[in-house]
Amino acid sequence: MSLNPISIYNYGADEERAEIARMSSFVGAVAIGDLVKSTLGPKGMDKILMSPGPSATHEPNITVTNDGATILKSVGVDNPAAKVLVELAKVQDDEVGDGTTSVTVLAAELLREAEKLVNQKFHPQTIIRGWRRALEAAREALEKAAIDNGNDEEKFKEDLMNVSRTTLSSKLLTQHKDFFAKMAVDAVLRLKGSGNLEAIQIIKKLGGTMTDSFLEEGFLLDKKIGMNQPKRIENAKILISNTSMDTDKIKIFGSRVRVDGTAKVAEIELAEKQKMKEKCEKIINHGINCFINRQLIYNYPEQLFADAGVMAIEHADFEGVERLALVLGGEICSTFDRPDLVQLGHCDLIEEVIIGEDRLLKFSGVARAEACTIVLRGATQQILDESERSLHDALCVLQRTVAETRTVQGGGCSEALMACAVQQLAMKTPGKESVAMEAFARALMQIPITIADNAGYDSSDLAAQLRAAHAEGKNTMGLDMEQGEIACMQKLGITESFQVKRQVLVSAAEAAEMIIRVDNIIKSAPRQRQPDHPH
Ligand SMILES: *[C@@H]1O[C@H](CO)[C@@H](O)[C@H](O)[C@H]1NC(C)=O
Ligand SMILES: *[C@@H]1O[C@H](CO)[C@@H](O)[C@H](O)[C@H]1NC(C)=O
Ligand SMILES: *[C@@H]1O[C@H](CO)[C@@H](O)[C@H](O)[C@H]1NC(C)=O
C-alpha cells in the first residue's frame, strides 16, 4: 500500500496548487522585471550577452545591448510566468518596436504589488476588479494628456524630431542623437505615409566612426558587376529573376549519361552550351540592360551578357532580391517565354560607389521614390549591431507616430500623470478595490523611480516631488536626467508616441492580470521516448 496522495495525472505529470503556483509565478515575473530594469531610461545600463559560438572551440558570440527584447530573447527561462513576460516583450517589439523594457518592468511591478496584496489575503478577483478600474482611469488620463499636432506640418515635424531624439536617448546612439534622430525622421518622412519600412534599407559597414553614417536616396546592393560588363547604366531596365544559370559545365557526376569517349562528352557539353545560349538570348530579348539573379551566374552566361552589353549581377540574397523587386517596381520571374507578361524594374541610374574599402552598387531614381538606404559605420561589429537595433526602434516608433499623430510627454511624466489619476479615483472608491487601485498607481510610479535610480539620483525624493507637482495639476512635469531634477517635459522636448505608451500600459496590465488569475500550474508528463525496435 502506498502512502502517497492519490494522483490523477499520468506518471511524471505534476501540479502546483494555489499558493505555491502563485508564488512561483510572482517570483519568476519579478525576476524578469529586475533583470531588464537597469536598462530603462536615458542613463540605463547595457548588458553583455554571451552565447556559445558555433562550436565549443569557437569564440563565444558577444552582443552588447540595452534593448529589452534582445535581452529577453536570449535568456532561457523555465518559469511559466517569466515566459509570459518574455512573450509580452516580443509582441511589443513586433507590434510597436519600442517600449519592450517599459512593458516588462510595469508588468513585473504590478505583480510585485499583487504579491503583497495576496499575502494580506486579498482575493485575486478583488485585485483584478480594482486594476481594471485603475486601467480605465489611467487610459483616460493618458488620452486627455495627448497632444495632436498632426494638422500642423511644421509642428508635427518638430514632434517627430523630439520623439526620435527621445527614443534614441536611451540607446547607444545617444551621443549623436541629433544626427541620428534627423536621419530617422528624414527616412520615415520619405515614406510619405505609405508606412512600409521595407523601403528603408540599413547597411552596416565596419570602419569609420558613427558620425560617418549617412542616408542615401535609392537602393544599395552589396554586389559586384560581372567581368567586362558595363559599370554604369542610365535609364536601366531591369529583369529580376530566380533561375539557375550554372549549367555551363556538364555535370558528369550523378548524371546518367553513358558515353563512349571524350568526343561524346564534348558533344553533350556543346548541347548544354547551346541550351544556355538560348536561355540567355531569351533573357536579353526582354529588352533589358540589367539582369539580376538570385542564383549564381557561371562564366559562360556571364560572357554572353557581357557581349550583349547587359550588366549581370549574381547571387543576390533572398532579402536583397525581394526588396529590390519592391523598390524597383519589378517582379521576380523564373521563366522567360513571354516577355510581354513580365514586369521589369526601372531606375534612372546604376553605378558603383565606394564605401569604406568596399564597392557597392547604387540604384538611384528608383520606381518607388521613397526608398532609401541608411549606411551605418562603426568601429566594431557590436557597435554596428546595436546601432542598427536602436535605429530600427526609432524608425518603428516614428512610423507609428506618423500613423497615429498623437504624442505624450516622456521622462516618467505620463506615468506620474496616470498614477495621479488612479490615486484620485482610489480615494473616491469605497471598499477593498481601492487598495488594489493604489497598488496599481504605485506600480506606475515605479517607472520614473527606476529611471531616476538608474541615473544614480535620489529616486524617492524625485518621485515625491513629481507626485506633488502632478497633484497640483502641473501635468507636464517629468524627470530631467541631465540635471537630476524635475522639469517641464514640453520645454525639454521629451516626447513619446501616444500609441506606444498606451500599448505598454494595456499590455502590461493584461499580462499581469493573466498571471494572477493562475491558481494551478499543471506540468504535463514528459513525452515518453518510443522504444527504437519493439520486439
Ligand atoms: C551572433 O549573434 C548575432 C546577433 O544575435 C547573430 O545574428 C549571429 O547569427 C550570431 N552568430 C553565431 C555564430 O551564432
Ligand atoms: C529560387 O529558386 C530556388 C530553386 O529553384 C527555390 O528553392 C527558391 O525558393 C527560390 N527563391 C525565390 C525567392 O523565389
Ligand atoms: C521639441 O523640443 C524642443 C526642445 O528641444 C521644444 O522647444 C519644442 O517645443 C518641442 N516641440 C514640440 C512640438 O513639442
61 within ligand 1 shell (Cβ under 6 A):
yes
Q: Whose CA is nearest to atom 7 of ligand 2?
A: 242
Q: Whose CA is nearest to atom 4 of ligand 1?
A: 63
Q: How confident is the model at residue 248 (pLDDT cuts 50, 70, 90)?
A: very low
pLDDT at 55 over 70: no
Q: Which atom of ligand 1 is nearest to the CA of 74?
A: 5
The whole-model pTM stands at 0.78
Q: Whose CA is nearest to atom 6 of ligand 3?
A: 493
Q: Which ligand sits closest to the CA of 160? A: 3
Condensed to tens digits (0 to 9), the pLDDT of residues 174-222 reads 778 888 888 888 888 888 767 777 778 888 888 888 888 888 888 888 7
DSSP conformational letter for 172: G
54 within ligand 1 shell (Cβ under 6 A):
yes
Q: How confident is the model at residue 7 (pLDDT cuts 50, 70, 90)?
A: low
Q: 362: domain range?
A: 230-368
Cβ neighbours of 521 (radius 10 Å): 17
Q: Which ligand sits closest to the CA of 53? A: 1
53 within ligand 1 shell (Cβ under 6 A):
yes
CATH of the domain at 21: 1.10.560.10
Tell me the C-alpha to C-alpha distance, in Å, between residue 288 and each of 110, 239, 277, 283. Answer: 62, 7, 16, 8
Q: How confident is the model at residue 272 (pLDDT cuts 50, 70, 90)?
A: confident
210, 418 Cβ separation under 8 angstroms:
no
- Claim to verify: residue 49 and residue 100 sit in the same structural domain: yes
CA of 161 to the centre of ligand 3 (A): 9
Grid coordinates belonging to 323? 526588396
- Claim to verify: residue 159 and residue 210 sit in the same structural domain: yes
CA of 312 to the centre of ligand 2 (A): 18
11 within ligand 2 shell (Cβ under 6 A):
no
Q: Which ligand sits closest to the CA of 74? A: 1
- Claim to verify: residue 259 and residue 352 sit in the same structural domain: yes
**Structure confidence at residue 1 (pLDDT):** 46
Asked if residue 424 is part of any domain, the answer here is yes
CA of 163 to the centre of ligand 3 (A): 10
Cβ neighbours of 346 (radius 10 Å): 17
Q: Whose CA is nearest to atom 6 of ligand 1?
A: 61
**Could you give the CA distance from residue 275 to residue 298 in angstroms, rounded to a whole number?**
14
CATH of the domain at 201: 3.30.260.10
294 within ligand 2 shell (Cβ under 6 A):
yes
- Claim to verify: residue 35 and residue 86 sit in the same structural domain: yes
- Tally the domains of the chain: 3
Condensed to tens digits (0 to 9), the pLDDT of residues 439-496 reads 999 999 999 999 999 888 999 999 999 999 999 988 889 998 888 889 898 888 889 9
